[in-house]
Amino acid sequence: MWMILALACACQFMVILDSSIVNVALPSVDRDLGFTATGLAWVVNGYLLTFAGFMLLGGRAADLFGPRRMLAAGLLLFSAASVVGGLATTAEILVAARVAQGMGAAMMAPATLVLINTYFTGGPARAKAFGAWSASGGVGGMAGAVAGGAITTGLSWRWVFLINVPIGAVLIAVAVTSLARTQTRRRESLDIVGAVTGTAGLATVIYGVMQSADHGWGSWLTVGPVVGGLLLLVVFAVVEARFASQPILPLRLFGIRGVAVGSGMLLLFGGIGIAMWYFTSLFLQNVLGYSALQAGLGQTPAAVTFMVIARCAAALLPRIGVRALVLAGSGLFVAGFGWLARANADSGYLTGVLAPTLLIAIGIGLTFPTFMAAATADAPEGEAGIVGGLAATASQVGGSIGLAVLATAASARAAAAAGGNSPAAALASGYDRVFLIAAGLAVAIAAISLLSPRHRRA
Q: What is the pTM of this model?
A: 0.76
153-174 pLDDT, tens digit per residue, is: 778 888 888 888 898 899 888 8
Assess if residue 91 is contained within a domain. Answer: yes
Tally of structural domains, the chain: 3
pLDDT of residue 432: 93
Question: Where residue 319 falls among pLDDT bands split at 50, 70, 90?
Answer: confident
Q: Are 166 and 216 part of one and the same domain?
A: no
pLDDT of residue 230: 94
**Alpha-carbon span 217 to 225, nearest angstrom:** 11
Q: Are 88 and 38 part of one and the same domain?
A: yes
pLDDT of residue 457: 45
Return the number of other C-beta atoms located less than 10 Å from residue 189's C-beta. 9
DSSP secondary structure string for all residues of 142-178: HHHHHHHHHHHHHT-TTHHHHTHHHHHHHHHHHHHHH
Domain of 238? 191-247
Q: Is the pLDDT of residue 224 over 70?
A: yes
* Mean pLDDT, rounded, for 325-351: 92
185, 214, 238: which is the final residue of a domain?
185
Which has more pLDDT, 266 or 297?
Answer: 266
Q: Is the pLDDT of residue 181 over 70?
A: no
* Mean pLDDT, rounded, for 78-89: 92
pLDDT of residue 437: 95
Q: Are 243 and 280 part of one and the same domain?
A: no
Q: Are 203 and 128 part of one and the same domain?
A: no
Is residue 56 packed enough to be buried (19+ CB in 10 Å), middle (13-18) or exposed (0-12)? Answer: buried
Is 95 in contact with 42 (CB distance < 8 Å)? yes
99-137 pLDDT, tens digit per residue, is: 999 899 888 888 887 787 777 766 677 777 767 776 777
Question: Where residue 216 falls among pLDDT bands split at 50, 70, 90?
Answer: confident
21-61 pLDDT, tens digit per residue, is: 776 677 778 788 877 655 666 787 788 778 877 877 887 78
Is 176 in contact with 68 (CB distance < 8 Å)? yes
Q: Are 226 and 283 part of one and the same domain?
A: no
pLDDT of residue 83: 94
Q: Are 151 and 225 part of one and the same domain?
A: no
Map residue 191 onto helix, strand or coil.
Answer: coil
Quote the mean pLDDT of the chain. 82
**Alpha-carbon span 83 to 79, nearest angstrom:** 6
pLDDT of residue 456: 44
Q: Are 294 and 351 part of one and the same domain?
A: yes
Assess if residue 458 is contained within a domain. Answer: no
Assess if residue 29 is contained within a domain. Answer: yes
Q: pLDDT exceeding 70 applies to what percent of the chain?
A: 89
What DSSP designation does 378 have? Answer: T
389-433 pLDDT, tens digit per residue, is: 788 778 878 887 887 788 888 888 888 888 778 888 898 999 999
Assign residue 119 the CATH number of its domain: 1.20.1250.20
Q: Are 435 and 341 part of one and the same domain?
A: yes
Task: Of 269, 238, 281, 252, give the one whose Cα is nearest residue 366.
Answer: 269
* Half-sphere exposure in the Cβ direction for 114 (13 Å, CA): 30
